[in-house]
Amino acid sequence: MTAALSGSARRLRSLATRLTTPLLPDDYLTLINPLWSARELRGRIVSVTPEAEDAATIVVEPGWGWEFEHAAGQYIGIGVQIDGRFVWRSYSLTTPPSRDGHRLVITVRAMPDGFASQHLVNGVTPGTVVRLAPPAGEFVLPDPLPAKALFLSAGSGITPIMAMLRSLDRRPDATDGADLVVVHSAPDADRALFADELDLLGRRHPSWRVVVRHTRTEGHLLFPREGNPRAGRAPESSPRGTLEELVPDWRDRQTWACGPGGMLDEAEKAWADAGVADALHLERFAASFSAGAEGGTITFARSGRTVEADGATTVLQAGEQAGIPMPFGCRMGICHTCVAPLSSGGVRDLRDGSEHRVADTDQSTRTVQTCVTAAAGDCTVDL
């Protein structure tokens, strides 16, 4: 995790540990207040408010030790108890730091069959205590803003961009005639997150252009393709269907994009083809796993636990299912927070199928990213 506990929080924790040792300080602290823990960061859900169809905005009041400032666009980890075990997921904060005081605000879309998101949207109630991981992520805005900016989102990908727009709403360099374009796609009006607020922002700032598209009637946004002569033209039936038509100067804009993997893949290709790949800043919500692994028995050496895992279950998920406190950040192979030493056997990277193996004769260990690898036969991880 990128942020660190403040000095005062560390001192309080250390005092609690000294006063209560040899018994665990948490046993005492949690009795007094469930949000006090010397071992982990906790928060309490304050409200769960329906937000468009299948989504909810969840406000969390963080407990003892939460001294982190976040930047608009960053995400936090939330561990929620489902069927007796904690399940961790990442969610973008949707408000800038000072907007809601010390509260954390996320908006979750319930994915069909989604294990944690269904629970967060349709299961949790105010008062529920959750575990928290500090803010992280590089999907943030520069200061000062570039002369021209484009925000491109679809579905729940609007969440980090909403935090950015809410922070820009009050930044003098963004409100004083800044040339901003926002293009957000949602299936229809019922499923469009923050539609009213986006509309309001567009009307409040004359130099911002805010376009909300409905893909059921207008189709998915089309990106220019190299060598495609029709790339710049919208089909007559869908005049707001192409990026070229909607934002003719997209190549000149620094762009922040978040949405489904397919949309981001297309954007990456279009920006690369146009020779402006550096101007595109992406946030992905899920790694794309195209490979499978053999599966096997994973031994977590320091925790003394052993888990049978199939080839689709990452080492991180397997450890969490066994109740091991696994380090993680993005959960998708970017931040390297989850790396752990592999001391025997092998794992396979689910993104490209590459194998990472420690030879039997090897005296040393090698490190692996637990969030994107699965067991390739039996293996031992030093966690």
Ligand X SMILES: Cc1cc2nc3c(=O)[nH]c(=O)nc-3n(C[C@H](O)[C@H](O)[C@H](O)COP(=O)(O)OP(=O)(O)OC[C@H]3O[C@@H](n4cnc5c(N)ncnc54)[C@H](O)[C@@H]3O)c2cc1C
Binding site for ligand X (CB under 6 A): 75, 89-92, 106-109, 111, 113-118, 137, 156, 159, 285-286, 330-332
Map residues 283-322 to x or -, x wherever contact with ligand FES holds by CB under 6 A: ----------------------------------------
Residue 143 forms beta bridges with which residues?
none
Alpha helical stretches, state H, 171-260: 172-175, 195-204, 215-218, 243-246
Q: Which is nearer to ligand X, 13 or 284 (CB)?
A: 284
Q: Which is nearer to ligand X, 62 or 155 (CB)?
A: 155
**331 near ligand FES, judged by CB under 6 A:** yes
Q: Which does 335 bind (CB under 5 to 8 A by kind): ligand FES, ligand X, none?
A: ligand FES
Q: Which is nearer to ligand FES, 66 or 328 (CB)?
A: 328
Q: Which does 371 bind (CB under 5 to 8 A by kind): ligand FES, ligand X, none?
A: ligand FES
The letter for the amino acid at 374 is A
- Assign 3-class secondary structure to 153-178: EEHHHHHHHHHHHHHHCCCHHHHCCC
Place of tokens 């018994």: 23
> In the set 155, 224, 333, 346, which binds ligand FES (CB under 6 A)?
333
Strand order across the 179-186 sheet: 208-214, 179-186, 148-154, 254-258, 280-283
**369 near ligand FES, judged by CB under 6 A:** yes
**CB burial string 65-103: b at 16+ within 10 A, e below:** bbbbebbbbbbbbbbbeeeeebbbbbbbbbbbbebeeee
Q: Are 302 and 310 in contact (CB under 8 A)?
A: no
Q: Which is nearer to ligand FES, 276 or 334 (CB)?
A: 334
Rounded Cα distance between 67 and 134, Å, is 9
Interface region with ligand FES, contact rule CB under 6 A, candidates 12-20, 224-232, 330-338, 343-351: 330-338
Q: Which is nearer to ligand FES, 131 or 331 (CB)?
A: 331
**337 near ligand FES, judged by CB under 6 A:** yes
List residues binding ligand FES (CB under 6 A). Answer: 328-331, 333-338, 369, 371
